[in-house]
Structure 1
Amino acid sequence: MKNFKLYILSGLLFIAACKPEIHTPTLSKGTANFSRFIAVGNSLTAGYSNGGLYLDGQLNSYPSIMAKQMAQVGGGAFNQPLFTTAQANGSGYLTLTGFDKSGNPITAPVTTDLAVRGEYNAPGFGTVVLYTKYTGDIENYGVPGIKLYNITTPQYGNYNGYFERLLPGDGSTTVLNTDYLDFVTAKPFTFFTDWLGNNDALSYATTGGAGDVLTDKTTFAQLYELSLQQLTASGAKGVVATIPDVTSIPYFNTVTVAAINAEVASTGLKLYVNALVSGTTYAPRLATNNDLIVLTFPTSMIGTMVTTPYGPLPYGLTPVTPVDNQYVLDANEVALTRDYVQSYNATITTQAAAKGLAVFDAYTYLNNVKLHGLEIDGISLSSAYITGGLFSLDGVHLTPRGYAIIANEFIKAINTTYNANVPLANVASYQGLKFP
């Protein structure tokens, strides 16, 4: 019996000796320095969500999430131009209030506790909404609406209320001569994220190719090179992101030609769109599944009678009454947009490589999500509108959970390039879309 006990004891000791050791990598900043991290970009950087910029969205911006993780490896304070609690609803935004009998979402705008201080008519531009001024320190320089094309425009603050909010002076009465690139680089910083360039394609696409233009490819390359030169001039390191395939977002994939044709099938009619032929020439034709209808298209217009020289005809269902340009990014416009985005991304990756910067390939990542979905922290996610969990009610910008995922992708790129071990955020702790 004694020998049997010794046998068991020796066996247990052997098992214990063979137990693999688990080594948790030490958190590290690697060769990066996060003591003053700044974020450069547009609405995605600012935390825009559900069609507006408001306090909860700002607090869950991807740079803010990144900064919390960087703080564990020596990152410093990260200040954002937050709206106050009393004006927490900022510019206003959309909320989901329910669903109709067909299962379509019903949304309503939030119109109370806003930070709107007025508006004015900018000559040659139009109405500019002004917001309550912010005068504190800033590390998140995300400005909704800004294009790369705008970063050296001296009076841009007179045309963008979000940027005007950050500058001294009243844009409605004063010429503001501070350009964006000089503004973000005015104070020393050690690390940056740069996600400029989205709006250079997105603004064209979301207006159906009718309300804006794509930024010239050569101009984009010149301005991107200039921006990286200025951002790295004092030795700061950083991470940049490519431009997503804007045609892959829910804004263009929720209201579909196939669904509309199915709705009107009993009439024997089909959808017509006014489509790009070449240059600036448009002509009506039957819609195809390669034509992308925008999320904001009022589908109730389909079939309503329109006065024409040929008598009343149903809107959208004849070549005389095609869907208006602003409601559809037709197949040729889709191809044009993708061509420009791919050119922009070639510029971004080439110039980032020349500077030794990290790159988050948002184009590839978000296209893969659209094709295959993803599962993170036990949560299944996709690019589907409402149900996917990634995109907010505007079909363009992200939910807090979506921003947490993007923050982690930026961090992964940083860790790879700078031999760092910045911990990833817990995606499950961030909320998806709020349901009533």
Structure 2
Amino acid sequence: MKTYRSYLHILLVTGLLGFGACKTSINTPAPSRGTADFTRYISVGNSLTAGYADGGLYREGQLNSYPSIIAAQMQKVGGGTFTQPLFSTDQANGSGYLRLVGFNADGTPKTEQVTSNLAIRGQITVPGFGNVILYTKYTGDINNYGVPLIKLQQITYAPYGNLSGYFERLLPGNSPTNTTSYLDFVTAKPYTFFTDWLGNNDALLYAITGGADPNLRLTDKALFSQLYNLSITQLTKSGQKGAVATIPDVVAVPYFTTVTVGAILAGVQKVNPAAKALYVNALNSDGSHSARIATAADLIILSFPTSMMGQPVAAAGNLPYGLTPLTPIEDKYVLDQGEVAMTQDYVNAYNATIKSVASSKGLAIFDAYAFLNDVKAHGLVVDGVNLSSAFISGGIFSLDGIHLTPRGYAVVANEFIKAINKQYNASIPLANVSSYRGVKFPGDNTK
């Protein structure tokens, strides 16, 4: 009952451009670092920076993170070694992740959770917080400081290393004894250049839970501004140069655009032609929620279990789920129109802060919001590869509908590089996007 019916491998379009008797010479700038110094490049950020993909953090995703791709290109203009906190080959599947195993008769994908060769060493219960999964400790140098799930709101919180297994694995101490904040950790060792893509989770975590989790509210705009100013001031305190990215339009990713109200209703009507509308528990102007008829402006999350539709709800006298005002689709499964507007308002405010602060420090800016929205609207052709923001077939987004494939991370890496080249009069060569894979299909052994 989802909007997609079938998925095909991306057709790689290749061809030779024939020239006549005259040959055209193409002047490619000689690789140069310009006015920047890439001797020790570090990357600051969250799951996107870490290489998170397919609903998990695992070695292949780490190896294809956008910072590692940027660093490889920087090495062509004198950049130094870039070391990532990789999971070992014996525990390459890290936290576990989703794998595509096939398609159902209606074209919807079938996935399974990878549970072997994990890097999970245990679990701890933190009083007042809950359970924290602990991962195998990493020791050694670090250039990629990406920590999945971290919010800008948490970068100065000293106990955060006890509440995040992804951060805890990078620290020498064990939870609950850590007292080093994320911002202090990433700036403890000298560096010459940085990229920063913090802030996504300050909006994304609210959105992907349908605005239903009281612990995952949108970060206050003033607090975001204060912390972003603080973080960039600290990252540039010794004159370091860098590049930042704006926050993408979090409701424009496949997680929110694949399963639509219209597609669900059409599926319901195949079984129950009398069904006229879906009902959702939606946000009111006073902050309360009540049931109303769903519209196309209400966004259903990718993981919504469509099999629930029409099932009798015992607590409501066996009325069909999702089809009456007394049995609406629960708030956790839908980011309704009001919540969408509020999320976008906050993201726009966050991005205004990011651009203002970065400009005041003379940093390069990759406008990820504008770029990814343009990809959603018009698609993209890079190195002869047709890309889009469509789920699975688009090649950019991984199976969780939020994070990127290796090919998507290569696209992002190139956009960072373009911004760096422009700001610092550099000529870092772009990565070859076609050499990175999109979604891995069953039987595909490419890395």
Determine if the TM-score, normalized by the shorter chain, exceeds 0.5.
yes
Q: 2:111 aligns with which of 107, 110, 115?
A: 107
Q: Partner residue of 1:37? A: 41
Counterpart in 2 of 1:308? 315
2:151 equivalent among 140, 147, 151? 147
Q: What residue number does 2:141 align with?
A: 137
Secondary structure of 1:247 counterpart: helix
Kindly provide the amino acid, as one letter, of the partner of residue 68 in structure 2: S
- 1:257-303 superposed Cα distances (whole Å, 9 cap, x missing partner): 00011112313242100000024300000000000000011000001
Which whole-Å CA distance do the structure 2 matches of 1:145 and 1:418 have between them?
31
Q: Structure 1 residue 358: deviation in Å?
A: 0.3
Work out the CA distance in 2 between the residues paired with 1:20 and 1:376.
21
For the pair 1:318 / 2:320, whether they are aligned, the reply is no
One-letter amino acid of the counterpart of residue 184, structure 1: V
Deviation at 1:428, TM superposition (A): 0.3
Conserved? CA contact 2:58–2:96, under 8 Å = yes
Once the two structures are overlaid, the 10-residue window that deviates more, 275-284 or 59-68, is 275-284
Deviation at 1:24, TM superposition (A): 2.6
Residues 153-164 of structure 1 aligned to structure 2 (within 5 Å):
153-164=157-168
1:139-172 per-position Cα deviation (integer Å, ceiling 9, x unaligned): 000000000000000000111000000011211x
Q: Distance in 2 between matches of 1:88 and 1:20?
A: 47
> Is the CA contact (8 Å cut-off) linking 2:280 and 2:330 kept in structure 1?
yes
Aligned equivalent of 1:232: 236
Alignment-derived partner of residue 291 in structure 1 = 298
Q: Distance in 2 between matches of 1:19 and 1:200?
A: 52
Pairs within 5 Å for 1:117-136? 117-136=121-140
Aligned to 1:354: 360
For residues 20 and 387 of structure 1, the distance between their equivalents in structure 2, rounded to whole angstroms, comes to 36
In structure 2, give the amino acid aligned to 1:242: T
Question: What is the match of residue 264 of structure 1?
Answer: 268
State the 1:50 CA deviation. Answer: 0.3
| Cα distance in 2, alignment partners of residues 19 and 207 from structure 1 | 57
> What is the identity, as a one-letter code, of the residue corresponding to 1:324?
E
Q: Cα deviations across residues 3-52 of structure 1 (Å, max 9, x unaligned)?
A: xxxxxxxxxxxxx9x97654331110000000000000000000000000
Structure 1 residue matching 2:28: 3-state secondary structure: coil
Q: 2:10 maps to what in 1?
A: none
Name 1:333's counterpart in structure 2: 339
Note if 1:58 corresponds to 2:65. Answer: no
On the 8 A contact 2:43/2:144 being kept in 1, the answer is yes
**Cα offset for 1:127?**
1.5
- Greater Cα shift, 182-191 or 274-283: 274-283
The one-letter code of the counterpart of 1:285 is: R
Q: State the one-letter code of the partner of 2:326.
A: V
CA distance in 2, matches of 1:120, 1:34: 39
Aligned mates of 1:116, 1:383 — CA distance in 2: 32
2:378 matched to 1:376? no
CA distance in 2, matches of 1:120, 1:51: 22
| Number of equivalenced pairs | 418
Mapped to 2, the partners of 1:374 and 1:19 lie a distance apart of 28
Residues 253 and 20 of structure 1: CA distance in aligned 2, closer, same or farther (over 3 Å): closer
Instruction: State the shift of 1:120 in Å.
Output: 1.5
Please give the alpha-carbon distance, in whole angstroms, between the structure 2 residues aligned to 1:123 and 1:49.
30
* SS of corresponding position for 1:308: helix
2: CA distance between counterparts of 1:360 and 1:75?
Answer: 20
TM-score (norm 2): 0.92
Match of 1:8 in 2: none
- How far has the Cα of 1:128 moved from its partner? 0.7
Please give the alpha-carbon distance, in whole angstroms, between the structure 2 residues aligned to 1:236 and 1:118: 38
Task: Look up the equivalent residue of 1:28 and give its one-letter code.
Answer: S
Give the 3 Å change call, closer, same or farther, for CA 307–141 of structure 1 in structure 2.
same
The 10-residue stretch of structure 1 (415-424 or 22-31) with the greater mean CA deviation from structure 2: 22-31
CA shift for structure 1 position 124: 1.8
* Counterparts of 2:129 and 2:258, CA distance in 1: 31
Distance apart, 1:83 and its partner CA: 0.2
Change (3 A) 1:296 1:234: same
What is the match of residue 406 of structure 2? 400
Report the more deviating stretch, 266-275 or 185-194.
266-275
Q: How does 1:206-225 map to 2 (within 5 A)?
A: 206-211=208-213, 212-225=216-229
2:438 aligned residue (429, 432, 436): 432
Task: Report the counterpart of residue 8 of structure 2 in structure 1.
Answer: none
User: 2:195 & 2:257 partners in 1: Cα distance?
Assistant: 29
CA RMSD after TM alignment: 1.3
- For residues 23 and 95 of structure 2, what CA distance do their matches in structure 1 show? 57
One-letter identity of the residue aligned with 1:423: P
Larger deviation: 125-134 or 413-422?
A: 125-134
Aligned-partner Cα distance in 2 for 1:258–1:129: 38
Alpha-carbon distance in structure 2 between the residues aligned to 1:177 and 1:100: 49
- Residue 249 of structure 1 and its aligned partner are, at CA, apart by 0.0
Q: How much identity, in percent, do the aligned residues show? A: 66
Cα deviation digits, residues 313-353 of structure 1 (max 9, x gap): 00111000000110000000000000000000000000100
Deviation, 1:123, is 1.6
Structure 2 CA distance for aligned equivalents of residues 279 and 91 of structure 1: 40
- Alignment pair present for 1:96 and 2:103: no
1:190 alignment partner in structure 2: 192
Unaligned runs of 5+ in 2: 1-20, 443-447
Residues 275 and 323, structure 2, Cα contact 8 Å, conserved in 1: no
Letter in 2 for 1:85: T
